[in-house]
Amino acid sequence: MPQDVPWHGRTVHTGVYKQTVTGPRMVRRLNIDGDGQGDLGGHGGEQRAVLVYQLDSYRHWEKELGRDDLAPGVFGENFTVAGLPDDEVCIGDRYRIGEALFEVTQPRVTCYRVGLRMGEPRMAALLVAHHRPGFYLRVIEEGEVEAAQDIVKESTGPEAMTVEEIDRVLYLPGHTREQVERALRIPALSPGWQGSMKTLLEQDENQEGGSSTGSAGLNAAATAAPPAWPGFRPLTVTRIHPESRSVFSLGLAAADGSPLPEALPGQFITVKVQPEGGAAPLIRSYSLSGAPGTGAYRISVKVEPHGAASNELRAHIRVGDHLEAAAPRGTFCLTRGDNPVVLLSAGVGATPVLAMLHSLARDQSSRQVWWLHGARDGTEHPFAQESRDLIAALPNARATVYYSRPTDADRLGVDYTAASRLSADVVRRIGLPTDADAYLCGPAAFMDSVTASLVDYGLDASRVHTEIFGSGAAITPGIKAAAATAPHQPAGPAGSGPQVSFARTGLNVPWNDAQESLLELAEACDVPVRWSCRTGVCHTCELALMSGAVDYSPDPVEPPGEGNILICCSKPAGEVVLDL
């Protein structure tokens, strides 16, 4: 059963510590009696009810790791079996053991906890690299199972794709499209792996005409095209224009007058804002708000009370000044299709969806377009006329604008549609088409509630896309929740290494050689991070590197997408700016 284990100053709630049992045990659809998982997001459930690992692999690891202490269950498995090697067992195979009938659903998912259990942090990567992941079983018929019973094969899975082969397809370079298509024809393959295979297939299709790298099946960040230029380059401010009381736009062009590379509608750039007086530059990201494909960019900045960069820009930036900018990045982009598009924003969150509206208008798209925007009142409503003109230019578009506190100067039916917040409740009642792709940007609470409401209303969760103007939600599997702490400099003496800039967090930290990886440095600063294997296999920690370079140790099992890095196994090789 799960237990709390201290680890790196935190507490992991994990069921990886298994003990051998004697006598029969009842195997049920979700679990074996007496067994449990600590983190149901990554383990357990119907598709991952029983984890299997092979004695033959025990012998392999004893030799490979020079260990003689590998007792049954040390790999976190429920059944330690003789036979059933990963390169023979196929997804969809059915086996009878005792009274119960099982079906193979997927390979083991790579995760740091097996390394924690074994005292070998590289274990998650080694299981993949040595093609010995083990696999999960679904329980088709419940019943009692006991050690030493025979394992009788009842049928082979369609496509005869082995556990080892499909693991290789997802985690290692060099899969073929035919392999992915075969995997998708196996009904027994768990929905999670089906989803990863579908994403791989989409990436393969896009790659035929494009140039993305890395494994999209592991992380959406890998689907983005490589950045248009490395590091930062100077852009010239060509125009400064007020959009509302607190938002102003900057027009940006290449310093040498050449056209800037086209960004995808929804992408953002990262800029260095140099404070007066020579302090270290502030690094901030801004979505491109203008029409894509014009050879120039526009960003629109909301002046935050006490906001360092926004106030600096408003006070000191002038036409003709240079702003150091990293290339457009981001996967919050308008996807192609014929289905309806819902663009939902609040406040300055309008910027990325406005770029999408521009793109739809430029293409004279016949798609159904819904523009839903929430503002406080007319003085805080950026792009009011611009968005109205774009909607009017589209054959099949409509706009609904909500003012939460309209003033006497605001005209109902002209400036705004309703005096209300753009809330989850409104979204449910407005009659949106359920086959739409929805793009949301605004305050975190707005996006959480509206996302939930859209899915509840009937939109497919995979079609609800969000952009966060700050740190994304953390993924820290199995770690017990602790009180949220604002990002800060790490405790102890400052490091003497190159500067590491966390762009989303707005934190610059000197690298400290006491840290094993950029991930550990981010954790020491309480910067929200996402990880799972911590050893270069799963790509959960993949993110954009705006500038600089890193050294890997160990090398990633499959390299990340171009312009991205894996922070769990890398250290900076000079100054770096991370999209974190």
Ligand X SMILES: Cc1cc2nc3c(=O)[nH]c(=O)nc-3n(C[C@H](O)[C@H](O)[C@H](O)COP(=O)(O)OP(=O)(O)OC[C@H]3O[C@@H](n4cnc5c(N)ncnc54)[C@H](O)[C@@H]3O)c2cc1C
Nearest approach in angstroms of CB 515 to ligand FES is 15
**Encoded amino acid at 189, one letter:** L
Helical axes 163-171 vs 191-209, angle rounded to 10°: 50
- Please give the C-alpha separations between residue 179 and each of 159, 184, 422, 467, in angstroms, as whole numbers: 10, 9, 45, 33
Nearest approach in angstroms of CB 380 to ligand X is 13
**Residue 479 DSSP code:** B
Tokens linked to 195 = 């989803």
Nearest approach in angstroms of CB 568 to ligand FES is 3
Residue 469 binds which entry of ligand FES, ligand X, none, CB below 5-8 Å type-dependent:
ligand X
- Residue closest to ligand FES when measured from CB atoms: 568
Nearer to ligand FES, 175 or 539 (CB): 539
Residue 320 binds which entry of ligand FES, ligand X, none, CB below 5-8 Å type-dependent:
none
Tokens linked to 520 = 């550990």
Residues 539, 568: Cα–Cα separation, whole Å: 9
Contact between 147 and 72 (Cβ < 8 Å): no
Residue 26 binds which entry of ligand X, ligand FES, none, CB below 5-8 Å type-dependent:
none
Among 287, 331, 387, 532, binds ligand X (CB under 6 A): 287
Residue 340 binds which entry of ligand X, ligand FES, none, CB below 5-8 Å type-dependent:
none
Residues 377, 408: Cα–Cα separation, whole Å: 10
- Residue closest to ligand X when measured from CB atoms: 307
Q: Count of residues binding ligand X (CB under 6 A)?
A: 22
Residue 531 binds which entry of ligand X, ligand FES, none, CB below 5-8 Å type-dependent:
ligand FES
Establish if 470 lies at the interface with ligand X (CB under 6 A): yes
Element of type H or E holding 145: strand 143-145
**Residue 475 DSSP code:** B
Among 196, 203, 310, 564, binds ligand X (CB under 6 A): 310
**Encoded amino acid at 381, one letter:** H
Nearest approach in angstroms of CB 538 to ligand FES is 4
Establish if 327 lies at the interface with ligand X (CB under 6 A): no
Contact between 204 and 184 (Cβ < 8 Å): no
Establish if 249 lies at the interface with ligand X (CB under 6 A): no
Among 301, 317, 440, 567, binds ligand X (CB under 6 A): 301
By CB under 6 A, what part of segment 348-377 binds ligand X? 348, 351
* 294 CB neighbour count, 10 Å cutoff: 15
- Please give the C-alpha separations between residue 113 and each of 20, 326, 532, in angstroms, as whole numbers: 19, 37, 9
Establish if 300 lies at the interface with ligand X (CB under 6 A): yes
3-state secondary structure 403-457: ECCCCCCCCECCCECEECCCCHHHHHHCCCCCCCEEEEECCHHHHHHHHHHHHHH
Establish if 285 lies at the interface with ligand X (CB under 6 A): yes
Nearer to ligand FES, 101 or 568 (CB): 568
Residues 310, 75: Cα–Cα separation, whole Å: 51
Which range in 191-199, 233-241, 300-308, 320-328 contacts ligand X by CB under 6 A? 300-308
What is the number of alpha carbons within 13 Å of residue 274 lying toward its C-beta? 11
Nearest approach in angstroms of CB 534 to ligand FES is 5
Establish if 302 lies at the interface with ligand X (CB under 6 A): yes
Among 286, 370, 511, 531, binds ligand X (CB under 6 A): 286
Interface positions with ligand FES (CB under 6 A): 531-534, 536-541, 566, 568
Contact between 212 and 225 (Cβ < 8 Å): yes
Instruction: List contacts with ligand X (CB under 6 A).
Output: 268, 282, 284-287, 300-302, 304-310, 348, 351, 469-470, 504, 506
